[in-house]
Amino acid sequence: MPELLDTIEQKDALIAERDRLIAEQRKLLALMEEQLRLARQRRFGRSSEKLPHQGDFFDEAELEAALSEVEAQLPDTPPSKPKRKPREGFSDQLPRLRIELALRDDEKMGASQTFFTKVKEELDIVPAQARVLEYWQEKAVYETDEGAPIFKAAARPAHPLGKCIASVQLLAYILVAKYADALPLYRLEHILKRYGGSISRTTMANWIIRLDDVFKPLINLLREHQLSGDYLQADETRLQVLKDDGRPATSDKWMWLVRGGPPNRPAVLFHYDASRGEEVPSRLLDGFEGVLQTDGYAGYNTICRGNAITRIGCWDHARRKFVEAAKAAPAKKKGQKVSKADVAIGKIRKLYAIEERIKNLDPEAKTAQRRLLSQPVLDDLHVWLQANSRRVPKDSLTWTAINYTLNQWDRLVGYCQDGRLHLSNALAENAIRPFAVGRRNWLFADTARGARASATCYSLIETAKANGLEPYAYLAHILRHIAAAETVEDIEALLPWNVRLTAGSD
């Protein structure tokens, strides 16, 4: 009899162990299926974070009621703009060509008077055209008593690259085409050849690298200006550089971005470094005091601990993790209960809706409204995250999203303390997006020097855009004047907020 009981106990233990293994395998299979669905969605699905069933994430009536309460509590503010705005007319700064549609003589016969009325405007464009600028220098000859004539020549304009066959307009065109419009140099080579100008991609690359030294004084001033502010946003993204101090060509290098500075005068600066280590932000942010907004990357911790820097988080990054979990979830059937990721997205969306309602307020009023309206939503979300952190499978995408948000919570709620701060790091992400688009076209940089030159060009173009300047006009202005700049005041005059550009200006 004892032997029978032992046998039963052994079988029970084997069955329990088998059940445990099956449960672990099912959990692992569910996690693998979730990752597979996410991988398929990333490859074949839409990149937008807006999901087709987004209306099911939350009680729509509850949200609308909450937003109505928000609007009722707001001070008098301009009415929100309609979603569909009528098309605006063309800018007054555009040159205009008058085309008169005249009556024939027989049609005007007997009329007491005729007049023209404008009936239509069309946007026209003049295709690019290659031309050669010939510089003819006037020289005067003076006779002297000694018999040897003296010659005097008209001054020649200084060129940023000295003896160079490219005009400053062509250099500005190349920089904008590559770094604003994401055209690789080999395409530019074919475009210029089609227009009648034969310039190799190697020559254009050398021009860009040489311009890095030309622009360096201006970049240094922009960095000093940026660090004098008290609110910065930072981000970083991968870059492949083929030749960099013996590192493998396939290894990841990094393009860093820092955006910010004094209010209404933002500077957007890119910086290339082969490392993603904490020494890079420590060098880039040395001397800065204020608020730094980033994602959850730990590389910024050292500089924040060692300096008077308050770090805040980015709700876009937290929301994105829940969106990935929602996209990786099995397809929902009609009437099926929404997932926890869906619920979290709905709660987070309330924060964005509140920001949309109060975006036109001054910083002080915005701070007060965030404490009054956003704080209760944040408190509710925090309680929900804590309650559900143990109700989802460990290591699942939803579990990862919940724990990321909880770990970053103190930083994520930091934006409520100051109306000048933003809910997310979107301004930095938007500034780095043109680089990511260009990277898909030109794929890699050949050398570290070329990557640094690219960082300089992106810095000038994105800073111009952030200050409301057209990039080509701004770069052409810089290139016309920087070669003759001899003092710090001359360089300061080229900062975007010190430049006034109009249509047709130099």
Structure tokens at 5: 């009981």
Question: Are 95 and 504 contacting, i.e. CB atoms less than 8 angstroms apart?
Answer: yes
Instruction: Flag the least confident range among 78-82, 161-165, 226-230, 233-237.
Output: 78-82
Share of the chain above pLDDT 70, in %: 87
- Max distance between CA atoms of the chain, in angstroms, equals 139
Q: What is the pLDDT of residues 68-80, one digit of tens each?
A: 665 665 555 454 4
pLDDT higher than threshold 60 for residue 336: yes
Report the pLDDT value the prediction gives residue 402, as an integer from 0 to 100. 93
Q: What is the pLDDT of residues 252-261, one digit of tens each?
A: 889 999 999 9
Report the pLDDT value the prediction gives residue 68, as an integer from 0 to 100. 66
Spatial neighbors of 437 by CB under 8 A, at least 6 apart, are 182
pLDDT-derived band of residue 17, with 50, 70 and 90 as boundaries? confident
Share of the chain above pLDDT 90, in %: 48
Structure tokens at 395: 């290591």
Handedness of CA 404, 235, 420, 305 (dihedral sign): positive
SS3 272: strand
pLDDT-derived band of residue 333, with 50, 70 and 90 as boundaries? low
Instruction: Flag the least confident range among 402-406, 425-429, 475-479, 501-505.
Output: 501-505
Question: Are 308 and 295 contacting, i.e. CB atoms less than 8 angstroms apart?
Answer: no
Of 439, 496, 491, nearest in space to 465 by CA: 496
SS3 290: strand
Question: Are 209 and 453 contacting, i.e. CB atoms less than 8 angstroms apart?
Answer: yes
Q: In the chain, how many H helices and how many E strands?
A: 18, 9
The overall average pLDDT reported for the chain is 85
Structure tokens at 128: 């690019």
Long-range Cβ pairs for the range 120-124 (8 Å, 24+): 121/89, 121/90, 123/90, 124/97
Q: Cα dist. 403→145, 191, 406 in Å?
A: 92, 51, 5
C-alpha span between 136 and 165 (Å, rounded): 15
Give me the residue label for tokens 């692992």.
28
pLDDT-derived band of residue 61, with 50, 70 and 90 as boundaries? low
Taking 3-state DSSP, the helix, strand and coil percentages for the chain, each rounded to the nearest 5, stand at: 55, 10, 40
Q: What is the pLDDT of residues 410-426, one digit of tens each?
A: 999 999 999 999 999 99
pLDDT higher than threshold 70 for residue 122: yes
Question: Are 232 and 401 contacting, i.e. CB atoms less than 8 angstroms apart?
Answer: no
Query: Could you give the angle at which helices 471-481 and 168-179 cross, rounded to 10 degrees?
Result: 140
Q: Output DSSP code: residue 345.
A: H
Instruction: Flag the least confident range among 7-16, 390-399, 497-506.
Output: 497-506
Q: Where does residue 260 fall: left (phi above 0), alpha (psi -120 to 50 degrees), or beta otherwise?
A: left
Of 493, 451, 448, nearest in space to 474 by CA: 493
pLDDT-derived band of residue 439, with 50, 70 and 90 as boundaries? confident
C-alpha span between 292 and 232 (Å, rounded): 5
Of 233, 438, 435, 440, nearest in space to 317 by CA: 233
Long-range Cβ pairs for the range 65-74 (8 Å, 24+): 66/350, 66/377, 67/350, 67/353, 67/354, 67/357, 70/353, 70/354, 70/357, 70/358, 70/369, 70/373, 71/357, 73/369, 73/372, 73/373, 74/357, 74/358, 74/361, 74/369
Beta strands in 328-440 (DSSP E): none
Which amino acid, one-letter code, is at 413? V
Higher-pLDDT residue of 502 and 465 is: 465
Helix (H) / strand (E) element for 479: namely: helix 471-481
Report the pLDDT value the prediction gives residue 500, as an integer from 0 to 100. 85
Report the pLDDT value the prediction gives residue 116, as an integer from 0 to 100. 92
Helix (H) / strand (E) element for 233: namely: strand 231-239
286 CB neighbour count, 10 Å cutoff: 11
C-alpha span between 301 and 299 (Å, rounded): 6
Q: Output DSSP code: residue 370.
A: I
Instruction: Flag the least confident range among 53-57, 71-75, 144-148.
Output: 53-57
pLDDT-derived band of residue 19, with 50, 70 and 90 as boundaries? confident
pLDDT higher than threshold 90 for residue 438: no
Strand partners, 238: 254
Report the pLDDT value the prediction gives residue 55, as an integer from 0 to 100. 45
Report the pLDDT value the prediction gives residue 57, as an integer from 0 to 100. 47
pTM here? 0.81
pLDDT-derived band of residue 90, with 50, 70 and 90 as boundaries? confident
C-alpha span between 259 and 270 (Å, rounded): 9
